[in-house]
Amino acid sequence: VAVGTAASLVPASRYLNAEEIEKGSAVDLKPHHLATWQEKLHGLVPERKVNKFPNPMALEFPEMNFLNPDELVMGHIIMNDSKAKSRNKELASGCVRANACKDIFWDPSQVRAGIVTCGGLCPGLNSIIR
């Protein structure tokens, strides 16, 4: 039986301890984040500590809703799940929410980036990227 229509949020601080996050979990981001990839650790990246620069969008759009970096979306939301044993363990700890953050890792004055789209592979992407 599915519970509710919206995904539940779990405080990420509950999973900041590396021992609680299995290697390969959807929230095991330390091996992949530029701030922590050389440390050979597992777990969530402490975004509030490593993201030190204000996002330029926060200055240009002060009413914009930004992501709370301590939120996760629960991976399994089914109670009395008859297929629980066959589901992937990667989502057991939840998933990191995707959205714009108020603070960012890169210094915007030092970064130049370009995005290339490849024809029909990404239809509609040009209307999203400005």
Give the domain ranges of the chain.
Answer: 9-105
pLDDT at 71 over 70: yes
Structural contact between residues 39 and 117, judged by C-beta atoms closer than 8 angstroms: no
Average pLDDT, integer, range 34-50: 72
pLDDT at 7 over 80: no
Of 50, 46, 29, the C-alpha closest to 93 is: 29
Backbone dihedral angles phi then psi of residue 54, each to the nearest 5 degrees: -70, 140
Average pLDDT, integer, range 71-78: 74
Average pLDDT, integer, range 14-33: 62
Distances (CA, A) of 100 to 8, 67, 86, 89, 104: 19, 6, 33, 27, 9
Across the chain, mean pLDDT equals 71
Give the integer Cα–Cα distance in Å for 29 and 78: 25
- Higher per-residue pLDDT: 58 or 115: 58
